[in-house]
Every structure is written in structure tokens, then in C-alpha cells.
Amino acid sequence: MSHAFPCYLIEKSEAGVSASLTERTIDDLPPGDTLIQVGYSSLNYKDALAVQGHPGVVSKFPHVPGIDAAGVVESCSSGIFQPGDEVIVTGYGLGDEDWGGYAGYIRVPAEWVVSLPVGLSLFESMIYGTAGFTAARGVDHLRHNGVMPDCGEIVVTGATGGVGSLAVTILAHLGYDVVAVTGKTESHDFLRELGAKRIISREEVNDTSNSLLLKGKWAGAVDTVGGNILATIIRSAKQHATVTCCGLVAGAEFAATVYPFILRGVRLVGIDSDQCPMLKRRELWSHMASDWRPPQLESLARTVTLDGLPAEVQRILKGGITGRVVVQPVRD
């Protein structure tokens, strides 16, 4: 099998890193027992870094980005999946160590693949993508640690981004009082439509005092930015709150003391969606297709083809994207 398909290829030469829309064949794909024809992918910040050839993301060239993919199985030598099965792949090495979803086909190990759950289309699964799965992981940890809607307000930082917007709408759908944090005043209506009860500025969760503890406000948090904002949220968490963290755009380091943990019993939970165990992965996708699925899901997304990627990459790097961008590698 060697027919050509479109892909967004990143190459490196003495002149630097370049990206181009080109064609490759099945024979060019990395090894794996499952060949999938890609219907949709999505755009994540990590993908934008891959397009730039960021050394912390791309380890070898040429490379095809796209850490998410949803499509139809064409073949599976292990027999775990059958031709025609609709499936999702997020995380593991997709678009990172191995070629990703910005192509007409991917080839991956069957152990990376999740059957598309009943209640979701391939397109809808990529509105979620890694961002939605990460948000669901955060929600799952809140609930696992006893943070329920009657416990108080949940604060979500970076609320207009992929993880943040999906966390806002999932939590609101489940009955939580969500406080959305954003620096984009033009996005307030968007966040209210997703279900946010209150919207506050970044400055309100960026305390620069030396106070060891702040007034307890939050029953829980989904933090997508890190840095001093994460530190502020930890210091202002209520008794027995759970704070989840999954991002670092505001900084990879934060100053903290043990006081919130030993005096208020605050839990800080890191969210690793990339290597989430398959059993939990299937459980969360099932929730995302059914009882956790927000009614506003489709309103979060717009679609681009591979030739529209360069502009979208620049937008996400500058923090200019609200909601989700679904990527369609092959035009209808």
C-alpha cells in the first residue's frame, strides 16, 4: 500500500525549520499495527510548538505534528480493531515522538487507540481532543476528592483556551458554580454562554503579597497557566479544596509553603493526560460522550484545513484563540 495522502510536514535544514503542505505515502509512516484514515485532528499549543520545530517537542525530522486524531481503521494486524471501526487517538507519542494527525493517515500501536464512544461523532471527539480530555481529567480528580457542586465555587484559569473553556462548560453542565479567569474582556459573553457564573480578571488571582495564606475562596480549581497564579489559588483555597494543574504559560515555577496543605488540607493534583492509563482513558471518554457532555459543545469549535494551519498556529502562539480549532486533513 503506497498511495499518497496530504500531510503538514516539518523539516529542518541548515537554513532552519520549515513547514509545508505536501504529500507522503503509507510507506513513509512510522511502524505500528493499526493504520487509521484520519478524519479530524485539532490544534493545541503543543502542536504550534511542534510546527516551529521546538526541541522540547520534536526530537527528529522530518515530522508531522498533531497530538490528536480521530478516524476510521483501515487495517489492524493485531486484530484488536476491525476495518471500519471509528476510533480516537490522543497522547502517547502521537505528534510527538511519532508522526501525528496533520495527515491523511496515521499508523500507531493498537494500545494507543480508543473506540469512539456511543454519543460522539469523529468531529465532536476532536472538539474535545487532548484539551477536552485534560479538562475531564481535572473534573474527575475534583469529584474523586469529594469536591461536589454544593462545596462552593470552582475557579478555572485560562478560561478561554482549549482546556479552560471545556473545563468551564463541563463543570457548569454538572451543576458547579464556575468562576472563569480571563484577561480577554471581549470574551465575557462567550464564557457566560458556556455557563460561567462569574468572570474575574487575572489580577484577582495573582496576589504578590508575602501572605502565607489568603482568605479561603475556592472549593476547587482547574489551573491551566501555572506560575504565581497557581500559587495564589493554592493560598486562597478553602478547607479540603482540590487544585488541579496542567499548564505553565504563566510560568513553570511557583512559590509555595506547606501551610495550605497542613492547615487547610488542600490537595494539589498534577494532570498528565498523555500517559493516562487506558482503563481510565476509556472511562473518561464515555463520560465525555454522555453525562458530562455539555450542550454547547459544537459552539466551541471551528474547522480549518491544512492550508489554514499557519495562520492558526500564529494565533494560538499569541494567545488569540478562543475555544477550539478542529483540523480537517483531507477536504470533503
Higher local confidence (pLDDT), 296 or 42: 42
Average pLDDT, the chain: 95
Task: Supply the pLDDT for residue 332.
Answer: 73
Distant-in-sequence contacts of 209-216, Cβ < 8 A, 24+ apart:
211/235, 212/257, 212/259, 213/259, 213/260, 213/263, 213/264, 216/241, 216/264
185-238 residue pLDDT tens:
999 999 999 999 999 999 999 999 989 999 999 999 999 999 999 999 999 999
**Percent of the chain residues past pLDDT 70, beyond the cut:** 99
Check residue 298 and give its pLDDT.
Answer: 92
Q: Average pLDDT, stretch 259-263?
A: 98
Find the mean pLDDT for residues 139-165: 97
Q: Closest Cα partner for 169 from 296, 299, 288?
A: 296
Q: Is the pLDDT of residue 176 over 70?
A: yes
Query: Which pLDDT value is given to residue 2?
Result: 62
97: pLDDT strictly greater than 60: yes
Mind listing the pLDDT tens digit for each residue in 115-124?
A: 999 999 999 9
Mean pLDDT of 230-252: 96
User: pLDDT at residue 1 above 80?
Assistant: no
The predicted model gives 103-107 an average pLDDT of 98
With 70 as the cut, is the pLDDT of residue 301 above it? yes
Could you give all domains of the chain from N- to C-terminal order, each with its CATH number? 4-116+296-328 (3.90.180.10), 131-270 (3.40.50.720)
DSSP 173-225: HTT--EEEE-S-GGGHHHHHHHT-SEEE-GGGG---S--S-----EEEEEESS
pLDDT confidence of residue 319: 87
| 120-124: long-range contacts, CB 8 A cutoff, minimum separation 24 | 120/285, 120/288, 120/289, 120/293, 122/39, 122/40, 122/70, 122/71, 122/72, 122/86, 122/88, 123/39, 123/40, 123/70, 123/303, 123/326, 124/297, 124/298
